[in-house]
Structure 1
Amino acid sequence: MELFYTSTQHIDLDARNLVVDGDEFHHLVRVLRKKTGEKILVTDGNGLRCEASIAEIGKTSFTADILACSRIDRPNTEVTVALSLLKAPQRFELFLEKATELGVSTIIPMLTARTLSHPSNEKVQGKLNRWRTIMLSAARQSKRHYLPQLTEPLTFKKAAALQGYDLKLIPYELSEAPPKVKCSGKKILFLIGGEGGFTANEIEEARAAGFNELSFGKTILRAETAGIFAVALVRTQLLEEERIEWF
């Protein structure tokens, strides 16, 4: 059974009902042609899982009766990727989709010294809305009970200064350090450069902020590929340790 999303504010556990609207309503009613009486699975994207039966369908939303609920534990391994905005928007969007499928916890659009795309303040909100829609679709496809967070764009300096991480890693094409890091049970932050990579000054700044360099191999990866690889690296470790509750 497919998993769908609604906000926490739209779920009333006391009244045993919930409301679905927006893109999820459109997908369920206009695309999948769901009818009253049909059962669906719904999450608030924060670990709550509800089995519900569609009760009443309106023009822009529907209500459903909650039949059963459970709470999914939050993953104890969290991966944040700060990726430079890219000149080709479809490449950044590919990263959003695949990283969400692989289990990323937070994505930070980043502006580095060599970032070629600098959207105006007026365009940022529209981009964020589009990106969240892409991530929601990917989360639905992969049946994630915890939606990844998407932040406002940050400069490299602000991203490098972020606190609260157990591991801070910066893949760098001139590094020879293999990615032999233990990720299980940790909060991890990756900084991924865009076209042209990071400058030498940025690498030094990252080192001073407590980041460790590592290599993703001798070949040079595109920025979006490196971002996807970073999340896949952690996922692989967790699968090897059978910690598949990360999803």
Structure 2
Amino acid sequence: MASYQRALIVGAGSGLSAAIARQLSLEGLEVALAARDADKLADLCDATGATAFSCDAAEPDQVDALFAAVEKKVGAPDVVVYNPSRRIAGGIADLDPAEVAQALAVTAYGGFLVARQAARRMAKLGRGAILFTGASASVKGYPRSAAFAMGKFALRGLAQSLARELQPQNIHVAHIVIDGAIRSGTRSAPPDRPDSLLDPDAIAQAYLNLLRQDRSAWTFELELRPWLETF
């Protein structure tokens, strides 16, 4: 962890992103958070010392401006986590093409935009880590979930390509499959199925473990699921 100094979490909110921000802050990293509504991150910033920025990850100009602002205020990030996704459900005959296009833009195209800016800066630093948050839909296309599956499959493909391109430049690229529902303030495990939901703090610890790996044995893909989740 000593080689990492500054992290940018894109698509920040009160769940997994908040848990990752707390873990990285405890490790001594300066943390920047990006969300379309940066005001909602005020409490998390107070708790972690993080700095919040407004950004729509699917808009190239906003992503460019985000990295310029983070670099100016915090410094060039050497850890970037991409969390945004948009899920729309429905049968293939009923899906609205414009909504599907937007879902793909948020889930996958935004990952490309963010990774593009991150890679430019990390190449100059000579080190870095780019972590992409996947889902069950990254490897399994469920019925009535075509848009989400397309977006997450595309994000996984992006991660694979970047790992082969960037890891020889000392930039660790990893894709984390979150295969199950995440526990939150509004979602808890039933009494008869304890720990049947993923604990966001436990997921964040797994992200931290990736950053601690020696480059002689980097993980590219990590699947996380509760002990009761079916494969």
State the TM-score bracket (shorter-chain normalisation): 0.3 to 0.5
Q: Is the strand fraction higher in 1 or 2?
A: 1
Q: Greater RCO between the two (CA within 8 Å, min separation 6)?
A: 1
Bigger Rg over Cα: 1
TM-score by length of 1: 0.35
